[in-house]
A and B are shown apart, each in its own frame.
Chain A
Amino acid sequence: MSQENQNKEEWIDAYVWDDMAPEERKAFEEQLAADAGLREEYELRRAIREGYRMERLRMEAREGINVARRQVRAREWANRGLLLLIFLLGIGLGLGLKTLYDWWNPEAPQKEIPQADVIEFNEDEEMLIGQSNDFGFKVAVDRIEIQENKLSGFSSVDSLVVALVTSPSEDIVYADNTVALYFPESQMPDKDDIRLLELILNGERVLYLGIGKKLHVLKKGN
């Protein structure tokens, strides 16, 4: 490239990059109007300069969009994390409250798994007779399976309507989910103290009546 050409290009570049003093700009513009060769080279360099600017803007815009996407994704994950945290806190709070409740209410019904060898019962104490619908209430029947003296299952099954009666009759009624329990008036227990326990002990079905902490045989057989 000749020195003249190089100078010309540098002159154009200074113009397209706006690195000229006002008088020099004016001189350049006058020369531009008069010189077709200069004008052609100027047009090309101006277009390249414009193209460069566009490409820079594009690169910056794209980077901006990518950054925005990363932020959107981060926000989405943060929201999911927050929801999970709230869910876990809810579970934790629920369990905590239940523990507190159990601690403050030691009398609250708790499922105790009775051991076969500690069950107390008195078969002579016959007090389950008669039927009445006068003041029935439901008692859940706990079912326990014991095979070869090993506890193999414990679950609440079914429910029975229990009626406390003061007039004796002959039979224990265990039909239509109703059982009538006879007590002399002076020994009438609180209904909260009564529960029914169905045990299957080595294949034999036994229905126990629990009054307080004492168990009474209610019915035996399959």
Chain B
Amino acid sequence: MSKDQDGRNDENVLVGFCKGEGKEYLRAIECLDKNCRPKVVSWLLKHQMDKRQAKEIYEEALTDAYVNLCILKKPLTTSLCGYIFSISRNKWRKEMGSKGIPVEPPPEPPVNPMDEGIIPPEIIKACRGRLSQRCRDILDDADRGLSMEEIAKKYGYSDDRSAKQTKYRCWADFVNCVKEQLSKEI
């Protein structure tokens, strides 16, 4: 297959991937799982990762690629698989670093905007996991842009004021958890 054809296929896969649903999305996921996943996983397996870790890193990289390219609309300067591979490699470096294993060559500049924020995603994930299911649902809905009236109605609050109070109480718990984790890291 020529480079042009490869490029067009890659573009089609990216377009389908970013649809987020429907036939084209399924085809894109199928295509990435068939063509990209084996490359990434086999590379990770050759670099001290076990099967479960390699699979998890690929899943996270695929998810990050979706958020970066399709939601945050970051430009793609390489092939889609190359991009996923690059995110996977950074995650692998982080994993190796956490085990105290030196990695050569030195880390590349981060390509994943989610790794660039000042709050490490692991802390956010852990603290989100500590919230009650109801708190998570309410914060998620508020984050999606639902109004307080809609949230009050959805969760059976008498008025939007009660819903708002719950939301800010949940949010305060979350922020305190993150702060606590950050202070431990320092």
Q: Which residue of B lies closest to A64 (CB)?
A: B20
> CA separation between A10 and B140, bound complex, in Å?
19
Beta-carbon contact of B143 and A56 below 8 Å: yes
Beta-carbon contact of B26 and A61 below 8 Å: no
Beta-carbon contact of B119 and A58 below 8 Å: no
- Which chain A positions have C-beta within 8 A of B25? 68
Q: Which residue of A lies closest to B21 (CB)?
A: A64
Q: With A51-B124, A53-B143, A72-B26 in contact, is A65–B63 under 8 Å at CB?
A: yes
> CA separation between A47 and B167, bound complex, in Å?
18
Beta-carbon contact of A61 and B121 below 8 Å: no
Known A58-B64, A62-B63; further 15 A-B contacts with Cβ < 8 A = A9-B172, A13-B172, A17-B167, A17-B171, A19-B164, A51-B117, A53-B143, A54-B67, A56-B140, A57-B67, A61-B66, A61-B70, A65-B59, A72-B26, A72-B29
Could you mark each residue 49-83 of chain A with 1 if its beta carbon is under 8 Å from any beta carbon of chain B, else 0? 01111111110011011001101100100000000
22 contacts between A and B (CB under 8 A): A13-B175, A17-B142, A17-B167, A44-B118, A51-B124, A52-B128, A52-B174, A54-B67, A54-B114, A54-B117, A54-B124, A55-B124, A55-B128, A56-B143, A56-B144, A57-B67, A58-B64, A58-B67, A61-B70, A61-B71, A65-B63, A71-B26
Taking CB atoms and an 8 Å cut-off, the chain A residues in 28-46 that contact chain B are: 44-45
Could you mark each residue 1-35 of chain A with 1 if its beta carbon is under 8 Å from any beta carbon of chain B, else 0? 00000000110010001010000000000000000
Q: With A54-B114, A58-B64 in contact, is A48–B124 under 8 Å at CB?
A: yes
- Which chain A positions have C-beta within 8 A of B125? 55
> DSSP majority for the A interface?
helix
> DSSP majority for the B interface?
helix
- Which chain B positions have C-beta within 8 A of A68? 21, 25-26, 29
Query: Counting CB contacts under 8 A, is B155 at the interface?
Result: no
**Closest CB of chain A to B99's CB: distance in Å?**
23
Q: Which residue of B lies closest to A45 (CB)?
A: B175
Interface size on A, residues (CB 8 A): 27
- Which chain A positions have C-beta within 8 A of B95? none
- Which chain A positions have C-beta within 8 A of B121? 51, 54-55, 58
Beta-carbon contact of B117 and A50 below 8 Å: yes
> CA separation between A41 and B121, bound complex, in Å?
19
- Which chain A positions have C-beta within 8 A of B144? 56
Query: Counting CB contacts under 8 A, is B159 at the interface?
Result: no
Beta-carbon contact of B168 and A10 below 8 Å: yes
**Closest CB of chain B to A79's CB: distance in Å?**
12
Among candidates B63, B70, B171, residue contacting A13 with C-beta atoms closer than 8 Å: B171
Q: Which of B20, B121, B125, B175 has the most CB of A within 10 A?
A: B175
Query: Counting CB contacts under 8 A, is B152 at the interface?
Result: no
Among candidates A47, A52, A69, residue contacting B118 with C-beta atoms closer than 8 Å: A47
Query: Counting CB contacts under 8 A, is B139 at the interface?
Result: yes
> CA separation between A72 and B29, bound complex, in Å?
9
Taking CB atoms and an 8 Å cut-off, the chain B residues in 1-51 that contact chain A are: 20-21, 25-26, 29-30, 33
Query: Counting CB contacts under 8 A, is B87 at the interface?
Result: no
- Which chain B positions have C-beta within 8 A of A51? 117, 119, 121, 123-124, 178
**Closest CB of chain A to B2's CB: distance in Å?**
28
